[in-house]
Amino acid sequence: MPGQRPNFFYHLHPPTIPKREGSFRYTFGLGGISVLLFLVLAVTGLLLTFFYIPTPDQAADSIQIITYQVPFGWLVRNLHYWAAQWMVIVVALHLLRVIFTGAYKLPRRTNYIIGLVLLVGTLLLDFTGYVLRWDAGTHWALVVGTNLIKDLPVLGPALYQLIVGGSQIGGATTIRFYGWHLFGLTIPALILIVWHSFKVRRDGGISHQPRLGDHTPRLDRAQLVKTETVVALLVLAALIFISIVLPAPIGPVADLPLPAEAAQAPWFFLWVQALLRSLPPFVAGIFIPIGVLALLLVIPYWVDRRKDGVAVWFNRPGRVAQIITIVIFVGLIALTLVELGQ
Ligand code: HEM
């Protein structure tokens, strides 16, 4: 950018990056879109706090007020809802891109682990947000989901109390979930996102194939910022469009104890609900989800420790890691579809 001072967004990138790995076809912009969605969630979430009332008898009513009475409240709520659902999908796709291109290999192992923590954080944020709706439909998340925590060995009962605010679900539960959603999860997620993005640069920039000599075609960051701006505007336009045409779910206001017939897991935990139909709660709700996470966690440490093949889609040294990931994702999607068909 001759004659112009680079602005904040330029400084987020090195002056030039390798052209192939800087292209949209390598990252699909998925990490950047995750950051954008997080920002949309932070802004719309902040606006929702002005009207949401975190008490059991007023929470669901306040959501009705936001949706039907507050000027543009419906739009802010729909944006918050859709950004949260997209975030789960985009972060999962980002994980697939990272694994299929071998971007988890050294020196990016630590950043891969930070990413996995962010994935768990994203799911927990979505889960606690779902509970805050506090209508009849959120029964599953509140009762079945929190009961699973009780089954955890040693720490289970104490953790349960910490999460629901007492020995059983009651008056303190809504404010507990509100506290977790707003501060206990959002602030650590923000810190981790900053660390994760900073680590991308510390690790030598976006993963790329080591090349001999200095003849790699390079991309100027002005071009990169331009592409990122176009992608961000398209994502925002799509998000606004879907928020106008598709309202976020809103159920009838429910009194405690919540009616069991409305039980439904949020869509991203339907696979757990499917497992719970045929397996003991500890196996379905704790052992298998932790096992899936552990499998992903050990990929750069035990499954593929080789450094070659980085930045190559479906590289040979990463074959086992790719197969494990595909089996996990196909399994989760299949279970979700089975549960949807119930
Ligand atoms: C809230 C969730 C997340 C956010 C906001 C985020 C953000 C980003 C951004 C902005 C980048 C650089 C651009 C790109 O590669 O698209 C990146 C790269 C990376 N992310 Fe994430 N990420 C998240 C979750 C994850 C997850 C779940 C993993 C995997 C477990 C992960 C692992 C990585 C790795 C290893 C890199 C470096 C990739 C490379 O150099 O090719 N991230 N992330």
- Between the CA of 173 and the centroid of ligand 1 the distance, in Å, is 33
Task: Check whether the bond before 257 is cis (ω within 30° of 0).
Answer: yes
Give residue-wise pLDDT tens across range 5-24: 778 888 888 888 888 888 88
- The residue contributing the CA closest to ligand 1 atom 9 is 31
Give residue-wise pLDDT tens across range 153-191: 788 888 899 888 888 888 899 999 999 999 999 999 999
Q: How far is CA 164 from the centre of its chain?
A: 22
pLDDT at res. 259: 55
Quick one: pLDDT band at residue 255, thresholds 50, 70, 90?
A: low
Could you count the other beta carbons within 10 Å of the beta carbon of residue 287? Answer: 15
143-148 average pLDDT score: 83
Query: Does 3 reside within a domain?
Result: no
186-201 average pLDDT score: 97
18: helix, coil or strand? strand
Is any atom of ligand 1 closer than 6 Å to the C-beta of 31?
yes
Q: Are strands 218-220 and 16-18 parallel, antiparallel or unpaired?
A: antiparallel
- Between the CA of 17 and the centroid of ligand 1 the distance, in Å, is 17
Query: Does 207 reside within a domain?
Result: yes
Query: Does 113 reside within a domain?
Result: yes
pLDDT at 192 over 80: yes
Query: Does 305 reside within a domain?
Result: no
Q: What is the mean pLDDT of the chain?
A: 90
pLDDT at res. 213: 61
User: Which residues is 253 bridged to in the sheet?
Assistant: 135
Could you count the other beta carbons within 10 Å of the beta carbon of residue 237? Answer: 10
Q: How far is CA 315 from the centre of its chain?
A: 26
Torsion of CA 232, 237, 238, 240, to 10 degrees: 120
The CATH code of the domain that includes 78 is 1.20.810.10
**Residue 90 in tokens:** 């985009």
End-to-end CA, the chain = 58
Contact 132, 54 (CB under 8 A): yes
Is any atom of ligand 1 closer than 6 Å to the C-beta of 310?
no
Tell me how far apart the alpha carbons of residues 311 and 101 are, in angstroms, rounded to a whole number.
5
Contact 317, 102 (CB under 8 A): yes
Tell me how far apart the alpha carbons of residues 119 and 127 are, in angstroms, rounded to a whole number.
12
pLDDT at res. 270: 92
Nearest partner of 304 among 283, 321, 290, judged by Cα? 321
Query: Does 293 reside within a domain?
Result: no
Query: Does 289 reside within a domain?
Result: no
Query: Does 284 reside within a domain?
Result: no
Tell me how far apart the alpha carbons of residues 289 and 291 are, in angstroms, rounded to a whole number.
5
Domain count, the chain: 1
What is the pTM (predicted TM-score) of this model?
0.94
Query: Does 214 reside within a domain?
Result: yes
Is any atom of ligand 1 closer than 6 Å to the C-beta of 196?
yes
Nearest partner of 20 among 310, 325, 322, 318, judged by Cα? 310
Is any atom of ligand 1 closer than 6 Å to the C-beta of 206?
yes
* Residue-number span of the structural domain to which 215 is assigned: 13-265
Q: Which residue has the higher pLDDT, 80 or 251?
A: 80
- Between the CA of 105 and the centroid of ligand 1 the distance, in Å, is 13
